[in-house]
Amino acid sequence: MSTPSQRVPVELWEHILLDVVYELFLLDLEHVGDVDQKSLSRRFRHEDAADAALTYERGRITLMLVCKAWKTFVDRTTGGWKEADSRSWDFPLRLLLATRIDLACTAPFKPAYLLGIEHQARILTIRTTTVSIDDLLVTYGASFPHVSTLDLRHASSVLSPTGGMSAPNGFFATLATLFPHLQTLFVEVPASDTTSDILSLPNLTRLSYVVVGQSRLSDGKRAAALALWELPKLQHLDIQPVGSTCDWSLVTDGLRAWGSELKTLCFDARFPCPTGIEIGREDWTACKRLIYTDHGRNVVRIGRTKEAKQILIPSSHPFRAFQRLVCV
């Protein structure tokens, strides 16, 4: 007579083992469901990344010690999470097969072995303090053709004037060329009075777009061309800083152009306008699949009572809930 474990289908065992080995937000963002982009960003950008990576590695080792079959399974399904720093780069061969690479450029470097060598990483995080992210991507981006999740973190222009990114005109066109399979993008771009960002990423489903160094989205030209973006598959969006009626107008212009598949929308500003943002009935027609919004510190006006929500939102709309809704 077979034991209960032997009667469990192989497919179910696969799910069980994967859950033990790693959490989805660490190594597999393609199957996290309808988690909103703000929550996902907070979990993905784990403050204790080193501890999380260590926990992941311990989980893998524990499973590999059970038996030969489990070791084979773990080796086959998990490439690993590797942190690399330009000060060391001691284990380039381990990086080649890693699923996720966190690249920290804290010292000048020229890793020649990156050029012309194809890495298997699906998730790439880049943080720099000594070299521009723009230059780094142009030089080495082609070495990561399988990347589907890209996390570009802005560096302080005061503490590290040569780090971070400038994101000039054409920056996002370069991303689209280097990473044709890109599905998730976390990006922080510096404020600019001259640069208009044009995003044309046909496979992108998740986007965190933050303009650093300005209090309103409408203050600079970065997001002036939101309506020209081409994001036909976008389902989850976190955009900042949105804290005024002018900001919201820019966002809705974009949503009307490419928001038909959007399911979750998050927007926030450090210093929101006291008069709040009004979401009108016509705004819902742009996002017919929207189920959740998080408006951060903004006051959102939709009517005088919660019951008024039913009047402004079409009855056939699938929308479920606001996060911290304030009706005024």
Q: DSSP labels for 183-236?
A: -EEEEEEE--SS-----B-TT--EEEEEEET-S-GGGSSTTTTGGG-B-TT--E
CA dihedral 301, 304, 310, 311 (to 10 degrees): -90
Q: In percent, how much of the chain has pLDDT > 90? A: 24
236-240 and 184-190 beta bridge pairing: unpaired
Residues 6+ apart with CB under 8 A from 190: 154, 157, 164, 165, 166, 167, 211, 212, 213
For residue 138, the surrounding DSSP H or E stretch is: helix 133-140
pLDDT tens digits for range 189-231: 888 888 899 999 999 999 999 998 888 999 989 998 999 999 9
Q: Which residues pair with 151 in a beta bridge?
A: 125, 186
Classify residue 244 by its DSSP letter: S
* Mean of all residue pLDDT scores within the chain: 76
Closest CA to 261 of 286, 283, 239: 286
Q: DSSP labels for 2-24?
A: --HHHHS-HHHHHHHHHHHH--H
pLDDT of residue 66: 78
Residues 6+ apart with CB under 8 A from 220: 191, 192, 193, 211, 214
Q: At what angle do helices 10-21 and 49-64 cross, to 10 degrees?
A: 140
Residues 6+ apart with CB under 8 A from 205: 183, 184, 233, 234, 235, 236
Contacts of 310-316 with CB under 8 Å at 24 or more apart are: 312/279, 312/280, 312/281, 312/284, 313/281, 313/284, 314/281, 314/284, 314/285
Count of alpha carbons within 13 angstroms of residue 10, beta-carbon side: 3
Please, are residues 247 and 271 in contact by the beta-carbon 8 Å criterion?
Answer: no
In angstroms, rounded to a whole number, what is the distance separating the alpha carbons of residues 266 and 269?
11
Residues 6+ apart with CB under 8 A from 139: 115
Q: What is the value of pTM for the model shown?
A: 0.79
Please, are residues 217 and 223 in contact by the beta-carbon 8 Å criterion?
Answer: yes
pLDDT of residue 26: 60
Residues 6+ apart with CB under 8 A from 177: none
Q: What is the pLDDT along the chain (328 residues), one digit of tens a residue?
A: 566 656 767 667 666 666 655 554 465 666 677 788 888 887 777 655 556 666 666 777 777 787 787 777 666 655 566 666 555 555 556 677 777 777 776 655 555 556 667 778 888 888 776 677 887 788 788 888 999 999 987 654 444 445 567 788 888 999 999 998 999 999 988 888 888 999 999 999 999 999 988 889 999 899 989 999 999 999 999 999 999 999 999 999 999 999 999 999 999 998 899 888 888 777 777 888 888 889 888 888 764 444 444 546 666 666 765 554 444 4
Token pair for 141 = 């981006």
Query: What is the domain partition of the chain in residue ranges?
Result: 1-78
